[in-house]
Structure 1
Amino acid sequence: MNKKRLFSQSLIAAAITLAASQQALAAGFQLNAQSATGLGRAFAGDAVIADNASAMSRNAAAMSLFNAPAISLGINAIDTDIEVKNANYTNVFGQTSSLDNQQIGDTSYAPNIFYIHPINEKWTVGTGIYSNFGTKTEFSSNYPASEYGGMTDVKSVNFALSTSYRINQQWSVGGGLDIIYGEGKLQRSNETLENLIALKTGKKGKLLDVDANGVGVGWNIGTVYELNENNRFGLSYRYSPELETEGDMTYMGNDISNDKLIMPLPDMAEFSGFHKLNDLFAVHYSVQWIGWSAFDKLETEGNANATLNTYEWQDGWHYAIGGTYYLNNDWTLRAGYMYDTSAQDEITSISVPDSDRQWFSGGFTYHISAKSNIDFGLTYLLGKDVAVSETNGLTSIQATTRANAWLYGIQYSRSF
């Protein structure tokens, strides 16, 4: 194979690797931050507990458990501690060097608001604004392997409109629409690679510089079965759309702003149970499936209309168990544990740190009055060390990543 052909194929490989890692991150970081109450129990039982209006974010059918209008509003903070360490980088000249450790985490905020309104004994409607996806990581501007690092800032907002119907004393069903707005800023650069690309194509620019946004429409359905007033089960399914994003996009020195970048989002299903054992204590649990395997390929639509990469993600699972202690009329205490499996399998990235992780959660409710309360939730998220190896045909990096986080939430709820 001649050097010119090898160089051309290497440039294509670099482009594919860059695009795949960025888009996977944009779509692949789930937020469990819909309420402070759920955060305090690791979201165990959240598809059926229905102790405030945020229940509609996990299961629309749970709105049938409310007999009066209810509102909840709050904010969760996600303080990520993400480290890229023990990195060895090989540049385009074949020189290998050890890189300084990088702290690439940041603090993000996820506000939420929900309102539920029973119309009569059968029908209930609700609306909410919250987020299911988002992340932010940023390497230092002088990081030698900036073609693998750089900056990624992805946000999403879910505007929900739902309704529920009580069939009888035991069964309720519900469903709704989700209008999802997403936006992302992605930057990748390497001056040496950019100069090589300019020599080949005559076009100079960042390897990747994207500032794009888009809207998609999804839906959700669910059901609740009440064995009795102290024991009930919930099941829900959420369809997530593909977002067609548009904006200012530069890719390998080319302006591709007229193209559309497709951002697939995973479907989710959840089963929850709640059992109040006596006047003081209840146990609850959840199993959630997240369809990350939908990310089988990354595509663009427009002039290129190309499949940029085929990659292998795996479906994720959450297993959560928790307990609630009704201390007295003023205070309710809760705790929970979740085991959360990684979405990534064999393909890993320093800019998308991911692993199996554990959630250790605690929280409380202070009842201001019979109709209003304040919730606080706290979680420590503990990840694992992951060995990462990346290459684009011209450069390569091997490193170890670890992602931990603290999550804090506060929320006010009221019934009328």
Structure 2
Amino acid sequence: MITRIRGALLAGVALGMSVGATGGAMAGAFGLREQSAQAQGLAFAGGASGSGGLSSMFWNPAVVTMKPGWNSDFNATVVIPQAEFTTLPGTFAPLRTLGESGDIGQAAVLPATYANYQLSDRLFIGLSGAAPFGLITKPSQVWSGQVYSRSSRVFSLNFNPVIGYRVTDWLSVAAGPTIEYFKLKLRQATGILPTSPSAELRGTDWGVGFTAGVLIQPTAGTTIGVGYRSSIHHELEGLATGVPGRIRANLNTPEKISVGLTQAVTPDFRLNFGFEWDNWSRLGEPAIVSTSLNRTVSSLPLNYKDGFYYSVGGEYDLNPQWTVRAGFAYEVSPIDDSNRSTRLPDGDRYWGAIGASYRYSEKIQFDIAYSHLFAAGRNRIAIIPGDQLYRAPLAYLATTDASADVVSVGLKYRWDNPPAPLAPAPIVRKY
């Protein structure tokens, strides 16, 4: 039986992950927040307190104890970003003649899938597969910022088996390891001519971390969740143009703390609140080391700040089959005027979201959600003397507008049969 359960959990996760796992960054820097169609309809408010159903395991693994029986949750998200640069006076004159960037955004599909199995009244196991990091930006091959970027790609896959335990009727805990694949590929022009070839840096690695979480239900209708995703150390190994042999670069992904609150206002209406902190500042400026020369030959000047996310959302049960929801969020990006690059012109932004769920039966539920992301202001790039990216005399100044449309769909399926409702006790007449 255990072998069959393990096989079903792995098969469910593999099915969801087969879609792909690269996309435009939608969670500050190159993070991806689009891990749940149900939670997306709330702008991810209450993600750590279970607003996404089983898919809330991404924010808090203790949610594995909220779904009795044997369940799977499959999610697919289409991200359609739009971003372009407008070159400003002050840019090195020969660069300006190369033209504008065009739309650097690249549409992508992001998968996320989850499964759990209840071993006893209090013990649960689960497995999730997601893409917590991803990025694709690709301006025109020939453009005024080509010496700083021609294309950027980050690809990740993350697998997280967890064990959850319901300590009491109101307290649950869970933890488990995370196993992550990470791939990086960056290209930029070697000169200012339209015919200048591209230099390339690429590297891959597998790393290990962990997740942990707690879920508290102090009163009927109130759920509080706190989840933690650890940093994962990646020692990327690969190649770089112009560097003999192989290269190595150490990159530590940011740890994440998520806090969620779900409060039932009426039997049909619930409010959700969320907060997330991502320790992007730990990335610093990873050194690129030539393994054959045994010395540092370059670096990745990221120097991000910490990221913060605040969200609120509400959902209403129209009837036993339909639930509608909406949410709003504000995100403080780890990227600002001091560290913004042509590879990732990120900035603070607003999220607006709507969604719905349809319960086809006791075993099947369909979810759909739509979000629109728009910048909180007009972002500026100034790669000039004093900037961490500046290469004399190649000054580049620009403004950028960025937005994104996100559509998610989800399918929830319960593999076992829900227990039949208890029949009312027969009436015994006493004479």
Identity %: 25
Matched, 1:289 2:289: no
1:296-311 equivalences under 5 Å are 296-301=284-289, 302=291, 303-305=294-296, 308=299
Deviations 1:229-274 (A, max 9, x none): 3111001111121211222321xx334x512122221110011000
CA distance in 1, matches of 2:41, 2:250: 35
- Structure 1 residue aligned with 2:368: 376
Relative to structure 2, which stretch is displaced further, 358-367 or 391-400? Answer: 391-400
SS class of match (2:286): strand
Structure 1 position 309, deviation (Å):
6.0
**TM-score of the two chains, using structure 1 as the length reference:** 0.85
The residue type equivalent to 2:339 in the other structure is I
- Structure 2 residue aligned with 1:272: 260
The residue type equivalent to 2:118 in the other structure is P
The residue type equivalent to 1:280 in the other structure is D
| Distance change (3 Å), C-alpha of 1:51 and 1:191 | closer
Structure 1 position 102, deviation (Å):
2.2
CA distance in 1, matches of 2:176, 2:209: 9
- Structure 2 residue aligned with 1:125: 125
CA distance in 2, matches of 1:82, 1:248: 29
CA distance in 2, matches of 1:132, 1:51: 16
- Structure 1 residue aligned with 2:405: 406
CA RMSD of aligned residues (A): 2.4
Relative to structure 2, which stretch is displaced further, 297-306 or 125-134? Answer: 297-306
Structure 1 position 74, deviation (Å):
1.9
- Structure 2 residue aligned with 1:173: 173
**TM-score of the two chains, using structure 2 as the length reference:** 0.82
The residue type equivalent to 1:138 in the other structure is K
CA distance in 2, matches of 1:230, 1:95: 60
Deviations 1:374-406 (A, max 9, x none): 000110001131111113123110000122100
- Structure 2 residue aligned with 1:397: 396
SS class of match (2:121): coil
Query: Are the aligned partners of 1:194 and 1:207 in contact in 2 as well (CA < 8 Å)?
Result: no
Query: Are the aligned partners of 1:174 and 1:222 in contact in 2 as well (CA < 8 Å)?
Result: yes
Query: Are the aligned partners of 2:179 and 2:206 in contact in 1 as well (CA < 8 Å)?
Result: yes
Give the structure with the higher percent strand: 1
Deviations 1:15-69 (A, max 9, x none): xxxxxxxxx99x9311111111111111100111255321211111111122211
SS class of match (1:254): coil
Structure 1 position 113, deviation (Å):
1.4
Query: Are the aligned partners of 2:98 and 2:194 in contact in 1 as well (CA < 8 Å)?
Result: no
1:9-408 equivalences under 5 Å are 28-49=29-50, 52-88=53-89, 90-91=91-92, 99-100=99-100, 102-192=102-192, 208-250=199-241, 253-255=242-244, 257-301=245-289, 302=291, 303-305=294-296, 308=299, 312-345=303-336, 346-383=338-375, 384-390=377-383, 391-408=390-407
Query: Are the aligned partners of 2:77 and 2:407 in contact in 1 as well (CA < 8 Å)?
Result: yes
| Distance change (3 Å), C-alpha of 1:141 and 1:94 | closer
Query: Are the aligned partners of 2:98 and 2:144 in contact in 1 as well (CA < 8 Å)?
Result: no
CA distance in 2, matches of 1:306, 1:264: 19
- Indicate the structure whose relative CO is greater, using CA pairs within 8 Å and at least 6 residues apart: 1
**Structure 1 unaligned runs (5+)?**
1-23, 196-204
**Structure 2 unaligned runs (5+)?**
1-24, 384-389, 417-431
Query: Are the aligned partners of 2:98 and 2:143 in contact in 1 as well (CA < 8 Å)?
Result: no
The size of the alignment, in residue pairs, is 379
Q: Which runs of 4+ in 1 moved over 6 A?
A: none
Query: Are the aligned partners of 2:316 and 2:323 in contact in 1 as well (CA < 8 Å)?
Result: yes
Structure 1 position 134, deviation (Å):
0.5
Structure 1 position 226, deviation (Å):
0.6
Query: Are the aligned partners of 2:311 and 2:329 in contact in 1 as well (CA < 8 Å)?
Result: yes
The residue type equivalent to 2:124 in the other structure is T
Relative to structure 2, which stretch is displaced further, 116-125 or 209-218? Answer: 209-218
| Distance change (3 Å), C-alpha of 1:166 and 1:98 | same
